[in-house]
Structure 1
């Protein structure tokens, strides 16, 4: 995969009786490309999430960023920090069936566009959604950046039992990225994930950047770590290359 010109557009996807808005980014040149569903943070389809989809597309991927909050707050684009409590409130509206339906709609779109493989990449809360989706849907590869709440039942998406307990349902490869200085995901949680993935014989890698905080991937934030971010992107490109 190498940087390429891209095109972007907003599309509408049918999800049950509802219509979900999604942001799509793809290489400008026709070709056979992997498909990737992008799971956003608690801030919705924020500019940083769209930028991540754009970068994936520039690597040679068809990226679809669904609006996971479309049932209660369509096209929500919350302001970083300022709207954190609102974002957490919206996160608590996500359900397992809803996430599976939303991701399934994106996968259907990617199939229709001729994607050569179906994958998902998620960030923070979207990383949790990606991990759960991987336990339920035929994803070739899943990458989750600093996904929280996987080992507890603190959010509805991780109930009635912790999402980690669904790990045996994963059929593709998994890469998890964490910051060693992330107060939201402690070493014990990472160890639990390692054990669950190993016990289930899932092809996986857990990458820990010792000095990195939560949210290290996106530029323009105090906790952005350029070297760590670039290493993550390189690993992600390798994963999607298959």
Structure 2
């Protein structure tokens, strides 16, 4: 289906957060997805990914995940300077602030006439972690987490015992966890640790490891795997069609 795109400024506990909204261009109500970006914020590949999901019948919200740390509208380049700034932002924003951002997005979605009450989370890289983190919120009905970083290593700032790995048992919705076997950011021992914690918590989850590098979904650069990306989009659409009924 055709889609439309809008931009909104959403008030959070830590300031205004610009959020792009991609949604079907037709009347009716549709389930929502919060799509969390990489450290570079809403780049062209992230916009295209959001549009892809919206075209399958979802309202997709793409927030600026580091809105407190940058001027509104900041998009970092896929270069060394952009990577350095994005990683700096990643280590300067506590997980608790991401939690309140998620709640602000949920509140906003439920105020929109084109949204149903059902909301899921999806993301890539740190965004995969933030989708996983969003699943701690009882209003999230499913999370599709693509190569989520920093869960196994507990390297993002947070209060004691509030890291995402420690809190796995608090997640009540279904998860899909996707990792590239050639991804140095989440090595085999890290993947094993996450899997063990999910098993111990008796979580509802699906687990997929593919022969791919980090950022294989990003449709720019040499690591992009188009065939795997299409497969992941189809799996994500099927997952959210089921969990966000």
The normalised TM-score by structure 2 is 0.92
Q: Mapping of 1:1-242 within 5 angstroms?
A: 4-16=1-13, 18-73=15-70, 74-82=72-80, 83-113=82-112, 114-156=115-157, 162-209=163-210, 211-242=211-242
Once superposed, what is the RMSD of the aligned Cα atoms? Answer: 1.6
| Residues in 1 aligned to 2:199 and 2:18: alpha-carbon distance in whole angstroms | 37
Determine helix, strand or coil for the equivalent of 2:40: coil
CA distance in 2, matches of 1:138, 1:81: 36
Query: Do the aligned residues in 2 keep the contact of 1:138 with 1:171 (CA within 8 Å)?
Result: no
SS at match of 1:45: coil
Structure 1 contact 153–160 (Cα < 8 Å) conserved: no
The answer to whether the Cα contact below 8 Å between 2:11 and 2:104 also exists between their aligned partners in 1 is: yes
Q: Distance in 1 between matches of 2:164 and 2:186?
A: 14
Could you tell me how far apart the structure 1 residues matched to 2:187 and 2:24 are?
Answer: 38
In the aligned structure 1, how far is the partner of 2:138 from the partner of 2:73? 25
Give the CA deviation at 1:68: 1.4
Q: Which runs of 4+ in 1 moved over 4 A?
A: 157-162
How many residue pairs were aligned?
238
How far the C-alpha of 1:161 sits from its partner, in A, is: 5.7
Structure 2 unaligned residues grouped into runs of 5+: none
**Cα contact 2:154–2:165 (8 A) shared by 1:** no
Aligned equivalents of 1:71, 1:102: Cα separation in 2? 11
Normalising by the residue count of structure 1, what TM-score does the alignment of the two structures yield? 0.93
Distance across 2 between alignment mates of 1:226 and 1:159: 40
